[in-house]
Chain A
């Protein structure tokens, strides 16, 4: 019995070890273009089967990090391993295990939908039968059956993105990289992409995404690295970030500056902290209802007064003093 118990423990331990070994590890990862430090000595670890997000404004260095991971740009310095392989040593092996959805769509417009998948399968040396089977599965999974023989040009934005994700999955990668997967999509298409992402996470795929949308990061990511100007400012789960960096609720006030200042003066000892922006005032608090009521009672004319849950956007604002979408 003792033996069985120990072997069970060993099993549990090895399971735990295996699952806590990062699938991607970056140490002092840097990329310089001329004098610009696009990525500046960042460290991160990504665990298998999780969704890891890089959140930051345009130019933060998100795409550059992705491009180093899938070996289309060399590191300037530092160390980066993917699936145990050094990206600077074994490019093809690293790329074989990664599916990539680039920020700007890189579909092959000279080919129709099904050939985009079949031709891509050849780059991974899939046999014809494997390719056809896999392509059919993916076309079904991403609901592109009706467009099978159509030219890629005729697809809507959402369909193109789905086809790109399908194409990235042709070789059953363990890691899927999505560089701004929902930028430029309408809300319906975004939700479709997100639901497919959730299904993929459930299937055990490690997802790596970049975004400058808070709701996207909150929806999908287990962990987020907030990036700004080549640095990772902070890294945590979305909820922990909100909890640790800002208060749970925000009361947001728009109106002329004098009115805003007057309100701030009156409530300043009732709030956790505030952000005075050019066009609005944000008051952070653990409980929005009494504060909201109190401001209403003051009868100071403002354009809008609203209370909401605080979001990653607020975290970003607090951390960098700047708004995220520029």
Chain B
């Protein structure tokens, strides 16, 4: 017998977000510290180490070239870790969702709540990273204010990507494939460390279809205040994928949890 899946409700989703925030509040001090070390180590190792050999990239110091992209990749790791491993454990091992779904919260509300929370975790990662960049004197201009909403939106986008994968798998080991075969290539080939224009045309075309690339380009444009219509294009791409993926993933989670 088929019924119409009830519509998703933002208020119910925020209840789930609040639950995660309550749990996070208990351990946030422990949780957040690595988020500051990570960019520090990257900038030291890549910027100063590699930077000693590669002094300039596209007309800017190497460290300035990679920093905006690394910021976006940290959002990617933060948001996807949340909606992959953490959601999987809550769904399959800890039976947290069994408890939540026996209240007025429905599967789609739950999914949207986890997306908000994934975006929030991405934002926490990104903000920590950004604060270190500021400390290094990067991005200190008014235009940088635009990066804040971008951090959240990009976090949301990656949350939907992680959750979609989670909705499809039954074994936690399969996340290894997601991370090594999907996210790591994104990390390496989305123009964070070198401009894609150096790569064959085919690779550039593939890159256009991947989410991290657009985030990196958008971030680099904002950091270096290169305002152009391309930035709008990247932004539209990100919004488009996020909306589409949200619709798909809400349905997928409904199907997974209501059967």
Residue of A nearest to B90 (CB): A110
Interface 1/0 per residue, B69-105 and A, CB below 8 Å: 0000000000000000000000000111011111111
Contact A110 B96 (CB under 8 A): yes
Asked if B258 and A92 make an inter-chain contact with CB atoms under 8 angstroms apart, the answer reads no
Binds B, one of A12-20, A68-76, A297-305: A68-76
**A107 to B15, alpha carbons, bound, how many Å?**
16
Bound complex: CA A107 to CA B102 (Å) = 12
- B219 located at the interface, meaning its Cβ lies under 8 Å from any Cβ of chain A in the complex: no
Chain B CB within 8 A of A111 CB = yes
A74 touches B259 (CB 8 A): yes
Which chain A residues in 61-81 approach chain B with CB under 8 Å?
70, 72-78
Contact partner, A72, options B15, B22, B23, B258, Cβ 8 Å: B258
In the assembled complex, the Cα of A75 lies from the Cα of B12 at a distance in Å of: 24
Question: Nearest B residue to A123 by beta-carbon distance?
Answer: B103
B22 x A115 contact (CB < 8 A): yes
A123 and B105 contact, Cβ closer than 8 Å, known pairs A92-B6, A102-B99: yes
| Size category of the binding interface on chain B | 20 to 34
A76 to B19, CA, bound (A): 33
Interface residues of B in 10-52 (CB under 8 A from A): 11-12, 15, 18-19, 22-23, 26
Residues of A within 8 A of B229 (CB): none
Pick from A88, A95, A105, A125: contact of B1, CB below 8 A: A88
Q: Which residues of A contact B127 (CB under 8 A)?
A: none
- Flag if B98 contacts A74 (CB, 8 Å): no
Q: Is the CB of B96 within 8 A of A123?
A: no
> Of residues 103 to 120 in A, which have CB atoms within 8 Å of B's CB atoms?
104-111, 115, 119-120
**Known A-B contacts A74-B258, A75-B1; A119 and B18 likewise in contact (beta carbons under 8 Å):** yes
Q: Min CB distance, A164 to chain B, in Å?
A: 9
Q: Once the chains are docked, how many angstroms separate the CA of A168 from the CA of B100?
A: 11
Q: What interface size band does chain A fall in? A: 35 or more
Chain B residues with Cβ below 8 Å from A100 are: 102
Count chain A CB atoms within 10 A of each CB in B3, B19, B103 and give the residue with the most.
B103
In whole Å, how far is B170's beta carbon from the nearest beta carbon of chain A? 16
Between A70, A78, A123, the greatest number of chain B beta carbons within 10 A of the residue's beta carbon is seen for A123
A273 within 8 A of B: no
Say which residue of B19, B26, B102 sits within 8 Å of A70 (CB atoms): B102
CB distance from A60 to the nearest CB of B (A): 20
B3 near A108: Cβ-Cβ < 8 Å: no
Task: Choose from A73, A96, A104, A119 the contact partner of B95 (Cβ within 8 Å).
Answer: A104
Question: Quick one: which of A98, A100, A108 has the most chain B CB within 10 A?
Answer: A108
Instruction: Say yes or no: is B242 at the interface (Cβ < 8 Å to chain A).
Output: no
A73 near B259 (CB under 8 angstroms)? yes
Can you name the residue of chain B whose Cβ is closest to the Cβ of A100? Answer: B102
CB of B258 within 8 A of CB of A107, answer: no
Contact of A74 with B102 at beta-carbon distance under 8 Å, contacts A91-B6, A108-B96 already known: no
Which residues 198-232 of B sit at the A interface, judged by CB distance below 8 A?
none
Task: Tell me whether A279 is interfacial, beta carbon within 8 Å.
Answer: no
Report, nearest first, the 8 A-B pairs whose CB atoms are least far apart.
A106-B99, A123-B103, A100-B102, A106-B98, A88-B3, A92-B104, A106-B95, A110-B23
B-to-A contact residues, CB < 8 Å = 1-3, 6, 11-12, 15, 18-19, 22-23, 26, 94-96, 98-106, 257-259
Task: Sample 19 A-B pairs with CB under 8 A, ordered by A number.
Answer: A72-B98, A76-B1, A102-B98, A102-B102, A104-B98, A105-B95, A106-B96, A106-B99, A106-B102, A108-B96, A110-B23, A110-B26, A110-B96, A111-B22, A119-B18, A122-B15, A123-B100, A125-B11, A125-B15
* A contacts, CB < 8 Å to B: 70, 72-78, 88-89, 91-93, 95-96, 98, 100, 102, 104-111, 115, 119-120, 122-125, 167-168, 171
